[in-house]
Structure 1
């Protein structure tokens, strides 16, 4: 979970910086920095869960082979 939290902080910072650089608006930068990374962080968490299952199945198959 710590990995997910640190990823979220990094993502919020990048999203704000890029949006602010493109628009010059703190409001738009803040809105994008809150919405997009929040959704992406949740997606990343589930992505990690899926990959753990894939890796576990691969390891299980290697043990039974």
Structure 2
């Protein structure tokens, strides 16, 4: 999926909820919509914490996402 065809994830009004997990699209939206390739490079470089695995899904705590966003990683 390219950047042009990817749907922007809606950021919940109560973000960050400490009891909720979010996916890659939400994380990308919080970081200012970098490309998926750039996001994967940041993940591989350790700038983004590794996700929790739920079956085949990758999910992060919303509080972790907010911490990364607030640290200025982009």
TM above 0.5, one fold?
Answer: no
TM-score of the two chains, using structure 2 as the length reference:
0.23
TM-score of the two chains, using structure 1 as the length reference:
0.24
More strand by share: 2
* Larger radius of gyration between Structure 1 and Structure 2: 1
More helix by share: 1
Higher RCO (C-alpha under 8 Å, 6+ residues apart): 2
